[in-house]
Amino acid sequence: MLKDFFLDEVETAIENAISNNKLGEMTNYEKGTLSVEKPKNAEFGDFAINVSALARFAKFSPPQIANEIVANLTTKDCEINVIGGFINFKVGSEFFKSLIAEIFTEKENFAKPKNIKKEKILLEYVSANPTGPFHIGHGRWAAMGSALANLLKFYGHEVTQEFYINDAGAQINKLGKSLKIRIQQELGKTADFPTDEVERKNYYAGEYLIPIAKKYIADGYQSQDEDILADYAKKEMLNLQKALLKDFRVDFDVFYSETDLHNSGKVETCVKKLQDLGKLYEQEGAIWFKSSEYGDDQDRVIKKADGANTYLTADIAYHLDKLERGYDRLINIWGADHHGYVARVKASIEALGYNPNKLEVLLGQLVNLVISGEQVRMGKRKNMVTLDELIEEVGVDATRFWMSMRNIDTTLDFDIELAKTSSDENPVFYVQYAYARACSILRNAVTEKIDIETGNKTPALISEEDLLALSQNYDKNILAPIFEEEETLNSARKLMLKLEEYKSLIRFSVQNCLVYTICRYVQELATDFHSFYTVSRVITSDMAMMKARLALVLATKTVIQNALTLIGVTAPEKM
RNA sequence: GCGUUCGUAGCUCAACGGAUAGAGCGUCGGCCUCCGAAGCCGAAGGUUGGGGGUUCGAGUCCCCCCGAGCGUACCA
């Protein structure tokens, strides 16, 4: 990518200048102190490198250093200027011609790096209890997690998407008890949840169990045994969750059951392992894990006084199992309400002899629903909106985009009304509109015109074959007219630079496990395309110019589509 | 109390330790006989919660306050 290219050029020039003894002392200089950025003012250039950081090595002033480096630069097809300590580069037309060629050749693989060290990554997210429907917070993890998986895979990594089913423990008893009441109600018997608030907390009183109760009866089951009911309910809930995930374009490779983990004996094996390593001790009838030896605030109970394992115990065993399955990296997306667990799980990983840095936990802040301009805090039962209700209301595209568009460590305000509007207030529609507009231009270019009043037909300005050939047999010189028209050149350059930026965007996003950056990018790309469109008439009798601009439209269409695919949003040809 | 994530324009958010802190929405003002005006262009709008410090340079790093969310179980 161009960023790397200019950095290489400058670093080479620095080495040359040093060997010619033109850069002062430079005694402790090491490569890697410089970076490429975007000039604050576009008139300065397209890329900038600030060499001020070299001042302390060279003992020269930044402008002197910059000028000395420029004197040693051999970069072609490029305007270079120095302002203060900044070396600015303005890219020439050949770079752009090659860029469009690259997009046409690579298509959906544009920006995929060629030689990376492939990592085996386990990405765990959502991991909900099978005791109720997903709430909107789960939607955030689902959207972000699947987008991150798409991104890491695109980059060339091997990614397993895993859902840990929390189907063990006291909550499951609650589920069985609750279903029993619903079934009895369906059978016309008098049964209801306790009215006492404290008592009621031992039940799931939500109406979502009613259809499951109906189905249980319709399936011809008789048993009122709470364990059997619990088992039935959790299977049904899980199926509902799986169906919703599919509709939401979230594709898990593995659903890992906590119950299976227990039944397989892996939990006990793990406890024994910790025991053998001397990481456990007994106190007040419980077994404790010395997690404080590994950075945790305090030790944690592994086995309660009643002999039962804690939730943490299973989680430790689960992460050990992940490690034993041979992954290079474990990435978890957890809600911020679980952040206290990070230190303990990492402590367990270290205690078991693995590198705790193999586990990266992305802590996500929660989601607030905004209805009529008012924040409705998640978790307040009466106002809880389920994910399927939200999707039904605003659609998959808008939900996925909104859930992905903010940095994971800021609480997300999900404004339902805004997400529903088809206007400029809604970034999803703004981006999709740009895509549809590009498609429309391409359609019009190959469609004959009929004058409604006279009935006269005007043939299409370009044949479908010729349009196809633009990208399939791309000739660099097709782009030339773009650079010959002063008044539209700026918007076209801006658009092409944004297309080029996709490469550094992908790398940056992968390195930092970010997804919102893609949402931002695709909005910016849409903006640059709209601007280009406004000043540049694409379909025109000037055949050379039309082909040049059509090539840009085609390239833009490709990149918008690629970016939207990563975040799981559709790119509609018409709206 | 302790831990943790935050505090940036009226609102929602950006900004690898680097140039005059940027976008979108909202507000105000322009642009359609022509490819989708669901669009474009422009303007106003800021002491980056406050105070110290480190640095050639701090919204960013460190310390102290103030404010908010989330944790702080032998629950899951």
Would you list the domain boundaries of chain A? Answer: 2-91, 125-251+365-420, 427-566
Fold classification of A2-91 is Gyrase A; domain 2 (3.30.1360)
Give the distance, in angstroms, between residue A378 CA and nucleotide B63 C1'.
35
Fold classification of A427-566 is Isoleucyl-tRNA Synthetase; Domain 1 (1.10.730)
Q: Distance between CA A359 and CA A346 in Å, rounded?
A: 7
Give the distance, in angstroms, between residue A207 CA and nucleotide B16 C1'.
50
pLDDT at A496: 96
A359 CB neighbour count, 10 Å cutoff: 23
Q: Is the CB of A81 under 7 A from strand B?
A: no
Q: Is the CB of A129 under 7 A from strand B?
A: yes
Whose C1' is closest to the CA of A62: which nucleotide?
A: B56
A242 CB neighbour count, 10 Å cutoff: 14
**Residues 497-536 on chain A lying near strand B, CB distance under 7 A:** 516, 520, 523-524, 526-527, 530-531, 533-536
Backbone angles phi, psi at A457, to 5 degrees: -100, 135
Q: Is the CB of A433 under 7 A from strand B?
A: yes
Q: Is the CB of A537 under 7 A from strand B?
A: yes
Closest to A551 (Cα-Cα) out of A485, A472, A450, A490: A472
Q: Is the CB of A282 under 7 A from strand B?
A: no
Secondary structure (H, E, C), A250-310:
CCCCEEEEHHHHHHCCHHHHHHHHHHHCCCEEEECCEEEECHHHHCCCCCEEEECCCCCEC
Give the distance, in angstroms, between residue A425 CA and nucleotide B27 C1'.
15
Q: Pinpoint the alpha helices (H) of A302-420.
A: 311-324, 340-351, 387-394, 396-404, 416-420
Give the distance, in angstroms, between residue A154 CA and nucleotide B71 C1'.
35
Point out which residues pair with A368 in neighbouring strands: A413
Report residue A512 as tokens: 């930092």
Point out which residues pair with A327 in neighbouring strands: none
Whose C1' is closest to the CA of A34: which nucleotide?
A: B16
Residues of chain A with pLDDT under 50: 379-382
Report the nearest residue to nucleotide B72, CA vs C1'. A340
Query: Nucleotides on strand B with an atom closer than 7 A to protein CB?
Result: 2-6, 12-16, 18-20, 22-26, 34-41, 56, 69-76
pLDDT at A458: 80
Q: Strand, helix or coil at A329?
A: strand
Report the nearest residue to nucleotide B70, CA vs C1'. A337
Whose C1' is closest to the CA of A304: which nucleotide?
A: B74
Give the distance, in angstroms, between residue A181 CA and nucleotide B46 C1'.
59
Q: Is the CB of A2 under 7 A from strand B?
A: no
Contact indicator for A256, A163 with CB cutoff of 8 Å = yes
Q: What is the pLDDT of residues A387-429, one digit of tens each?
A: 999 999 889 999 999 999 999 989 888 888 778 776 666 899 9
**Residues 332-361 on chain A lying near strand B, CB distance under 7 A:** 336-341
Whose C1' is closest to the CA of A39: which nucleotide?
A: B19
Give the distance, in angstroms, between residue A373 CA and nucleotide B11 C1'.
10
Q: Distance between CA A86 and CA A50 in Å, rounded?
A: 4
Going by the DSSP 8-state scheme, the letter that residue A53 receives in this structure is: G
Whose C1' is closest to the CA of A169: which nucleotide?
A: B76
Mutual angle of helices A136-155 and A396-404, in 10-degree steps: 80
Q: Distance between CA A401 and CA A260 in Å, rounded?
A: 35
Q: State whether CATH 3.30.450.20 applies to domain A125-251+365-420.
A: no
Interface pTM (ipTM) of the complex? Answer: 0.95
Whose C1' is closest to the CA of A309: which nucleotide?
A: B74
Give the distance, in angstroms, between residue A358 CA and nucleotide B55 C1'.
34
pLDDT at A521: 96
Q: Is the CB of A329 under 7 A from strand B?
A: no
Report the nearest residue to nucleotide B12, CA vs C1'. A413
Q: Distance between CA A160 and CA A169 in Å, rounded?
A: 26
Whose C1' is closest to the CA of A172: which nucleotide?
A: B76
**Residues 205-244 on chain A lying near strand B, CB distance under 7 A:** none
Q: Is the CB of A421 under 7 A from strand B?
A: no
